[in-house]
Amino acid sequence: MKARGMISDVIVHVVLALLAIVWVIPVLWIALLSFSTQKGSYVTSFFPKGYTLHNYVRLFTDTQVLDFPQMFKNTFIIAVFSCLISTIFVLSVSYCMSRMRFKIRKTYMNIAMILGLFPAFMSMVAVYYILKAVGLSEGSMIRVALILVYSGGSGAGFLLAKGFFDTVPKALDEAAYLDGATRFQVFTKVTIPLSKPIIVYTTLSAFLGPWLDFIFAKVICRANAKYYTVALGLWKMLEKEYIDSWYTCFAAGAVCISVPIAILFVVMQRYYTDGLSGAVKG
């Protein structure tokens, strides 16, 4: 039995190693391509024939056709503000659903769960015409429109955070009430300090949505290149008129937008895992 167990462990580790290699190869290839001296999307070898930093330099200096620094700036502004608003919305709604009792509470939770089964882009046409009607589809208001789109409905995604708040003992709330604390003070001074894992998880999720989204950004920005996000900029580099000269810059851009995300996940991995495990207890 012990020998069979060891064989099973070896097989599992071999399979996991193979899967890891399959997952890492495309990432490694893009990273190597970003340093390649070859141009165009067709290459004859996995490893570049020459290495250079020109692709990264051009990405941030050649702004006449594709202004990547402006796209990066737009994305960062939208992602940060959307992250802050979404985190506040999600934590507030989650706390209310966890601690408060009112007549339509279960109905609201069921509706939110059903709506969560449908992809958000199903509403993009209606959302665009609403934004157009209120004057948020042109000029500098496009950034405001994207922030509203990414953060407006975030409160409906409260189920995970609500599950975490359910694990925080209600006895702590009652003790704070006896000491004269208000409900808002209990939320900010008792519950929030004990909920760092789910706050980190919610913040990361709220940041990654706008940072990586393509569909809503494409619908709202349309041909306004000045307000493109990095997702639109990278897609533009793959169009037929740009792909021959910008393909290696596309790889460099992909690396640039991936590095901050990778750093965040490495630094916050422990909190990220704790947030997921803590939210599903009980």
Q: Whose CA is closest to 50, among 34, 36, 31, 30?
A: 36
Q: Is residue 21 part of a domain?
A: no
pLDDT in tens, the chain (282 residues): 566 667 777 788 888 889 888 888 888 888 888 888 877 777 777 788 888 888 899 888 888 888 889 999 999 999 999 999 999 999 988 988 888 888 888 888 888 888 878 877 788 888 888 888 888 888 778 888 999 988 887 877 888 888 888 888 888 888 888 888 888 888 888 888 888 888 888 888 888 888 888 888 888 888 788 889 999 988 888 888 888 888 888 889 989 888 878 877 777 776 655 544 544 443
Quick check: is 79 in a domain? yes
- Of the candidates 71, 27, 36, the residue with the CA atom closest to the CA atom of residue 56: 36
Query: How does DSSP classify residue 225?
Result: G
The tokens for 208 are 């990654």
Residue 22 lies in a domain: no
Q: Is 2 inside any structural domain?
A: no
Q: Which of 163, 160, 137 is nearest to 148 (CA)?
A: 137
Query: How remote is the C-alpha of 274 from its chain's centroid?
Result: 18
CA-CA distances (angstroms) from residue 32 to 55, 111, 154, 242, 252? Answer: 11, 47, 37, 20, 9
Q: Quote the radius of gyration of the chain (alpha carbons, Å).
A: 23
Q: Is residue 1, in this structure, part of any structural domain at all?
A: no
* Closest-CA residue to 278 (of 210, 195, 174): 195
φ, ψ for residue 36, nearest 5 deg = -75, 145
Token pair for 36: 């390649």
CATH of the domain at 193: 1.10.3720.10
d(CA 176, CA 170) in angstroms, rounded, equals 10
Q: Is residue 249 part of a domain?
A: yes
Residue 92 lies in a domain: yes
Is residue 55 assigned to a domain? yes
| Lookup: tokens for 200 | 């980190």
Q: pLDDT at position 78, please?
A: 92
Q: How many domains does the chain have?
A: 1
Domain that holds residue 54: 34-279
Residue position matching structure tokens 């659903």 = 97
